[in-house]
Amino acid sequence: MAKVMTAKEVTKKVFNNEEFFILDVRNESDFNDWKIEGKNFEYLNVPYFDLLDGVEPILDKIPADKELLVVCAKEGSSVMVADMLEEAGREASYLQGGMKAWSEHLEPVKVGDLKDGGEMYQFVRIGKGCLSYMVISNGEAAIVDATRMTDVFTDFAAEKNAEIKHVFDTHLHADHISGGRKIAEKTGASYWLPPKDAEEVTFEYNRLEDGNEVMIGSTKITIQAVYSPGHTIGSTSFVVDDQYLLSGDILFIDSIGRPDLAGKAGDWAGDLRETLYKRYKELSSELIVMPAHFMIIDELNEDGSVSEKLGTLFAKNHGLNIKDEGEFRKLVSENLPPQPNAYQEIRETNMGKVSPDEEKQREMEIGPNRCAVR
C-alpha cells in the first residue's frame, strides 16, 4: 500500500527547497495550467487513463533515488497509480485530497515582532498564491485578506489566546472568495471594506477610508489605511506598527497589480502609477512590503514567507522603474495573463449577491493566481 502525504508535508518540502519528484496524473491541459511548484521539484505528467494498463512504460522515467509523490485532482486516481507503483517495486506516496487540498492549504508563518510585544503572522496559501495576515497584540487580533477557509484563522487566534476584533479586506477580491465577512459574523468582529469597492455589496460593513486608525490591543499597535487605488478603484494599503506595508494587490515582490479586472485598465492605469510612483514613494523605504499574493515560487523567503523592503523593490521591481508613462500604460494594459477563473462570480460572491455552496466555491477558485502584470 502506498503512503499518504498531506498538503502540509508537501509545503514543508517547498519551504525547505527539498528535491522531490511528482507524477501528476491529471490531463495535460490541467497540469500545464496549474501544478505544485517547488524550486527543486521534478515532474512527469501522464494522464491517469494512459496508465490503466499498468505503470511499466513510465518506470524508466521516474528516478529511483528521489522521493515520489503521485498527484491527481481529488485523490482517487493518485491512490490507484501509487499502489500500482508500489506493486512494481517503487516506493510512492499520494497527495491526500489531491489538488483540491493543495489549493486550500494555509501555512502560518511568523514574520516579525511588533514594537509593543505583539506579533505579525502571514498565512501562505501555497497552492493558490494568496497571502493573508494576522496582527496579534495584547490578547487581540486583526485579520487582513482572509480566505474562505475561516477555521484556520479562528483556530489559530484561539491557540494564541487572542480575540479577533477586526477583519479587513484590502479590496474586493476577484480571484478568491473572502472569508472576512464570515469570520466577523462568527466572532462579532468589525468587518472593514473600502467603500469605493463596496458600492454593490448587500451587507453592512465599516468604511475603510484614508486616515482610519484602528487599535489592536491596548498598546500602540495601529493599522493606518493608505488609500492606494489602481488594482481596483478602492484598493487600500495598510501601514502596521510603522514597520509593515500590507500592499494588497497593488504591489507584489516581483511584479505589480493588474488594473483590468473590472474592465477599467485604461482608466485605472493612471491611478496605479500614481499610487506606486507617488504615494508609495512618500513612505519609508524601510517598510517591509507584504502583499496579498505571490506569483512564482522564487518570491518565497527561506522561511517560506513573502516580503521585501520597499526600498529594495524600488530598486529591483521592474514595474516600479518605468519612467515613460506611455510605456507603463502599455505594460499594464497589454501584458496581462488570462483573467482568473470565474472572477465575475467570485466578485459577486464577495459582494453578497450570490451564495454558492462549498463545492461550487471550491470549483470557482481552482487554478493559479492571476492578479499580477507579467
CA distance 25 to 40: 20
* SS3 call for 269: helix
Contacts for 221 with CB less than 8 Å, ≥ 6 apart? 114, 115, 116, 118, 135, 137, 138, 215, 240, 241
User: Looking at domain 106-365, which of 3.90.230.10, 3.60.15.10, 3.30.470.20, 3.40.50.1000 is its CATH number?
Assistant: 3.60.15.10
Q: What percent of the chain lies above the pLDDT cut of 90?
A: 69
Integer CA distances (angstroms), 354 to 174, 190, 340, 346, in order: 14, 22, 18, 9
- For cell 479577533, the residue is 164
User: Is the model's pLDDT at 261 over the cut of 80?
Assistant: no
The Cα diameter of the chain in Å comes to 65
Q: What percent of the chain lies above the pLDDT cut of 70?
A: 93
Digit-coded pLDDT (tens) for 17-53: 999 999 999 999 999 989 999 999 999 999 999 999 9
> What residue ranges do the domains of the chain occupy?
3-101, 106-365
Per-residue pLDDT, 335: 65
Integer CA distances (angstroms), 14 to 9, 124, 281, 314, 348, in order: 9, 12, 33, 28, 33
Q: Which three cell numbers stand for residue 297?
A: 515560487
User: Is the model's pLDDT at 220 over the cut of 50?
Assistant: no
**Considering the chain, what is the average pLDDT of its residues?**
90
Per-residue pLDDT, 229: 78
Whether 225 contacts 374, CB under 8 Å: no
Among this protein's residues, is 72 annotated catalytic? yes
Active-site residue, selected from the candidate residues 22, 72, 80, 300: 72
Q: Which three cell numbers stand for residue 350?
A: 464577495
- At the top level of CATH, the class of 3-101 is alpha beta
Digit-coded pLDDT (tens) for 83-142: 999 999 999 999 999 999 999 999 999 999 998 889 999 999 999 999 999 999 999 999
Per-residue pLDDT, 88: 94
Whole-prediction pTM value? 0.93
User: Is the model's pLDDT at 264 over the cut of 60?
Assistant: no
User: Is the model's pLDDT at 221 over the cut of 60?
Assistant: no
pLDDT (mean) for 54-72: 95
